[in-house]
């Protein structure tokens, strides 16, 4: 990589799926970077000073400038490390950005996070049904090839890989298969999780840590942990 690329440091915690988007992008492009993990329950004083919302991820650029919000960080990394992982066609690029935002809904409290937090079985089932409905919509626009747009790995693939990884962990720990009946999603998950840049984007202890988090929230899914 060019010496013109600034010094990059990602601030996160070990379970964060959003910083993982940026890590996948950096590893795919073979860019040097540093990652610093913090405890969000007891963040250091310096983190409170640099994070406007008190959230991760945060990207420090040249140990001076600060970026926050995962999609913004991912886009910035892509722009300073050509060639871009976005499609060239402006309309296709815009559609990819829209579906990346769609993925954020799948990760939120009405999505993946909600599943592991919700204590009421009926409400949890409602969230699961909503996720499956959204995934059916995603299935309909997926290329049906190796990656979202076709045979080329793009930024949108890096954005969805953390979610698909956690779907796999839910299936492993709770026997919940959110991708059942969705062959494109299943194939996409297998392809992405086999990529080195995805496998190397998380700490080795992630499966055990994710299981512990499910149990910690004592939601309905905690009763399903095997």
Percent of the chain surpassing pLDDT 90: 92
Our CA angle for 70, 164, 171, nearest 5°, is 135
Instruction: Look at residue 197 in the predicted model and tell me its pLDDT.
Output: 98
- The confidence band for 108, taking pLDDT boundaries of 50, 70 and 90, is confident
State the burial class of residue 156 (Cβ atoms within 10 Å of its Cβ: 0-12, 13-18, 19+): buried
The yes-or-no verdict on residue 1 having pLDDT over 60 is no
Q: Is the pTM of this model over 0.85?
A: yes
155-174 helix and 17-28 helix, angle to the nearest 10 degrees: 130
Mean pLDDT for 54-82 is: 94
HEC sequence for 7-59: CEEEEECCCCHHHHHHHHHHHHCCCCCEEEECCCCCCCHHHHHHCCCCCCCEE
Query: Residues 12-51: pLDDT tens digits?
Result: 999 999 999 999 999 999 999 999 999 988 999 999 899 9
Q: Rounded to whole angstroms, how far apart are CA atoms 140 and 183?
A: 11
- Asked if 180 and 224 touch (Cβ cutoff 8 Å), the reply is no
Instruction: Look at residue 3 in the predicted model and tell me its pLDDT.
Output: 60
- Cβ neighbors of 166 (< 8 A, separation 6 or more) are 17, 112, 210
């Amino acid at each position: 990589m060019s010496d013109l690329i600034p010094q990059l440091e990602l601030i996160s915690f070990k379970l964060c799926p959003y910083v993982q988007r940026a890590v996948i992008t950096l590893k795919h492009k073979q860019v040097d970077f540093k990652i610093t993990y913090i405890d969000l329950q007891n963040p250091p004083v310096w983190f409170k000073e640099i994070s406007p919302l008190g959230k991760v991820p945060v990207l420090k650029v040249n140990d001076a400038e600060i970026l926050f919000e995962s999609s913004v960080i991912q886009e910035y990394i892509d722009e300073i490390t050509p060639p871009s992982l976005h499609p060239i066609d402006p309309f296709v690029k815009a559609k990819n950005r829209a579906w990346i935002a769609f993925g954020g809904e799948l990760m939120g409290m009405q999505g993946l996070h909600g599943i592991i937090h919700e204590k009421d079985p009926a409400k949890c089932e409602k969230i699961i049904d909503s996720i499956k409905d959204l995934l059916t919509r995603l299935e309909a626009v997926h290329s049906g090839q190796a990656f979202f747009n076709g045979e080329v790995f793009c930024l949108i693939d890096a954005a969805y890989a953390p979610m698909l990884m956690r779907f796999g962990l839910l299936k492993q720990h709770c026997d919940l298969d959110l991708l059942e009946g969705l062959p494109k999603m299943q194939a996409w998950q297998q392809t992405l999780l086999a990529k080195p840049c995805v496998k190397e984007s998380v700490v080795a202890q992630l499966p055990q840590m994710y299981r512990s988090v499910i149990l910690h929230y004592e939601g309905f899914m905690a009763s399903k942990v095997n």
